[in-house]
Amino acid sequence: MATVKLWGRVQPKQASQKFYRCGMEFTREWPEQPYEVDKATAERLKQEQMLEVVYTDPHAGLNKTEPEGFERTASADQTSGASVTDASDVLNNHDALNANAGLPQGAVINDGGNVTRGDGDKSAAESANTAPLDAVARHDAIKEAIGQLDPANTDVWTVSGSPKADALSEITGWSVSAADRDAVWALVLAEQGNP
């Protein structure tokens, strides 16, 4: 039987300190050693909304959402695989958020068809509906958009309770990535005292 190595923990946005699934105990911390499970168990763990599951050592910081050669047999909530594990790191390190930090003046940045120079001058190719290049400004706008969502409207929230990226995109006017949504949502929860 083929096995898959994975690391799993309780989602940082969940209130639980421990969670049991498939006969395994998960805590809020990444385990030092991976779990070895069959593909069906790996898929079940990946689909579990209470868990964050990665297939490379999270201590190395090189996570990917699926192991090489892994195929899903059923659809599941597709997530970015990115997470913010310590909201204070995000709040205190704006340069780390800014993908353009440290670029030389005038460097050309291509973010999927929208070309901008590193000094902020936008080329004619860039449309008006592009996310701000500065991550702090982008995250501030997403946080403001989250505040505009109706908490009672289930169409704008995921089953796990986070805002839908599409709903945020409608408010901001640009395509909000799941990674940006997750990072800002972690900050919002941390500010509310829900790590």
Q: What is the pLDDT of residues 137-185, one digit of tens each?
A: 888 999 999 999 998 898 999 988 899 999 998 998 888 888 889 888 8
- Asked if 58 contacts 7 with a C-beta cutoff of 8 angstroms, the reply is yes
What pLDDT band is residue 79 in, cutting at 50, 70 and 90? Answer: very low
- The tokens 């190395």 sit on which residue? 60
Mean pLDDT of 60-86: 48
CA distance linking residue 195 with residue 193, whole number of Å: 6
Judge whether residue 67 has pLDDT over 80: no
Judge whether residue 119 has pLDDT over 70: no
CA distance linking residue 144 with residue 160, whole number of Å: 20
Judge whether residue 110 has pLDDT over 90: no
Token digits of residue 8: 């799993």
Mean pLDDT of 108-125: 44
Q: What is the pLDDT at residue 187?
A: 87
Q: What is the pLDDT at residue 129?
A: 67
Judge whether residue 115 has pLDDT over 50: no
Q: How far is CA 114 from CA 63, 105, 140, 177, in A?
A: 27, 18, 21, 15
Q: What is the pLDDT at residue 179?
A: 86
CA distance linking residue 160 with residue 16, whole number of Å: 13
What pLDDT band is residue 128 in, cutting at 50, 70 and 90? Answer: low
Q: What is the pLDDT at residue 174?
A: 87
Q: What is the pLDDT at residue 193?
A: 80
Q: What is the pLDDT at residue 163?
A: 93
Token digits of residue 126: 């860039």
Judge whether residue 26 has pLDDT over 90: yes
CA distance linking residue 132 with residue 103, whole number of Å: 16
